[in-house]
A = this chain, B = another copy of it.
């Protein structure tokens, strides 16, 4: 719970009135007090952007009508933003990232990183050229028990990994696609080629890669759309093969009636297994072969990692998000590489390859596609 000074000057693109994820990002910046929000282009229309900026108490001259203007103007100020958070719909990520990188401003970008793989690959080049730091907010990697799981796999506590099982099932699109949050997610123009595989499947896939440190080599997918008139997938069944003979399954769904946000990861090793459920994130189940199953807890006996609160005082989704922000502040301020690695452009590229392969495979009746 160490608190240090030197808050980073932060700008935000997107996240105006009624935007869900922008508000989450702002809370995440505040929890550990490492950022100060000082500028924004918060909405797609100048009027709404202005109203949203006033809501947040921004100085009038730092509420911008669009992100291009914002990038140029902030770069020109002595007290301009050092880092920007991009929380727009997916299709705008690429242009916004580009604009701020061009000005030497560090970027925090919501996932998926861009709408297309080509954009993501171009972005990778731009990031390397810029010498800016780049954070992709795969927020679930910020859970302490997920980080501990990664450390345990790396330390060999499970032996060689054999099987991975990923699930991310929700029910909120079971009935229809009403509501602002639903509409853009089911619209290919704004969400990209993937429906639930892009929105949530990539989270599950990223989590598996993060925890195991393994790379997927191929997949076979069966995507479906159940919602009335829906074009993009809202249920996905995927078989995967990882390096070293590791086999995996992934189930992503947004039509699983009655499920809320059931992201779950199981990793089966030769010597032990791990099990994590996002809805119960302060626990990690460790089942060693030939010994009783153990309930590891955040802050509890044997826990390795950092916490804000002692065991038994639940931390949640916002704290995990805040951890990414805090660690990224360290990276920016010290130049150090984060340990464990923060999600970045590589993760974004992997996610888009995953979506592309899944769509291709499903179109070809489940043919195996390289990743």
CB-CB under 8 A from A54, the residues of chain B are 5
Q: Are A224 and B239 touching (Cβ within 8 A)?
A: no
Q: Is A269 on the interface with B (CB-CB < 8 A)?
A: yes
Q: Is A319 on the interface with B (CB-CB < 8 A)?
A: yes
Candidates B24, B259, B297; contact of A309 at CB < 8 Å: B24
Q: Is A104 on the interface with B (CB-CB < 8 A)?
A: no
* Residue total for A at the interface (Cβ-Cβ under 8 A): 92
Give bound CA distance, A30 to B325, whole Å. 15
Candidates B3, B23, B248, B251; contact of A56 at CB < 8 Å: B3
CB-CB under 8 A from A78, the residues of chain B are none
Q: Are B174 and A270 touching (Cβ within 8 A)?
A: yes
Q: Is A12 on the interface with B (CB-CB < 8 A)?
A: no
CB-CB under 8 A from A301, the residues of chain B are 290-292
Q: Are B296 and A292 touching (Cβ within 8 A)?
A: yes
Candidates B1, B262, B319; contact of A23 at CB < 8 Å: B1
Give bound CA distance, A1 to B26, whole Å. 11
Stretch at the interface among A114-122, A125-133, A273-281, A348-356: A273-281
Candidates B55, B163, B258, B316; contact of A253 at CB < 8 Å: B163
Q: Is A123 on the interface with B (CB-CB < 8 A)?
A: no
Q: Are A287 and B258 touching (Cβ within 8 A)?
A: yes
Q: Are B5 and A57 touching (Cβ within 8 A)?
A: yes
Q: Are B249 and A224 touching (Cβ within 8 A)?
A: no
Q: Is A335 on the interface with B (CB-CB < 8 A)?
A: no
CB-CB under 8 A from A23, the residues of chain B are 1, 3, 308
Q: Are A294 and B297 touching (Cβ within 8 A)?
A: no
The prevalent SS among residues of A at the interface is: loop
Q: With A3-B55, A31-B27, A251-B249 in contact, do A314 and B317 touch (Cβ < 8 Å)? A: yes
CB-CB under 8 A from A327, the residues of chain B are none
List CB contacts (< 8 Å) of A220-270 with chain B: 220, 222, 224, 226, 235, 237, 239, 241, 245, 247-249, 251, 253, 255-262, 266, 268-270
Q: Which residue, of A3, A291, A295, has the highest number of chain B Cβ atoms within 10 A? A: A3
What string of 1s and 0s marks CB contacts (under 8 Å) between A281-312 and chain B? 11000111111111111011110000011111
CB-CB under 8 A from A32, the residues of chain B are 27
Q: Is A171 on the interface with B (CB-CB < 8 A)?
A: yes
Q: Are A261 and B311 touching (Cβ within 8 A)?
A: yes
Min Cβ gap A348→B in Å is 22
Q: Is A368 on the interface with B (CB-CB < 8 A)?
A: yes
Q: Are A258 and B288 touching (Cβ within 8 A)?
A: yes
Q: Which residue of B lies closest to A313 (CB)?
A: B317
CB-CB under 8 A from A241, the residues of chain B are 222
Candidates B24, B235, B290, B296; contact of A247 at CB < 8 Å: B235
Question: Can you name 10 extra interface pairs (CB under 8 A) apart from A165-B251, A293-B300, A309-B316?
Answer: A26-B33, A163-B255, A224-B245, A256-B266, A257-B270, A257-B271, A257-B287, A279-B282, A295-B295, A315-B318
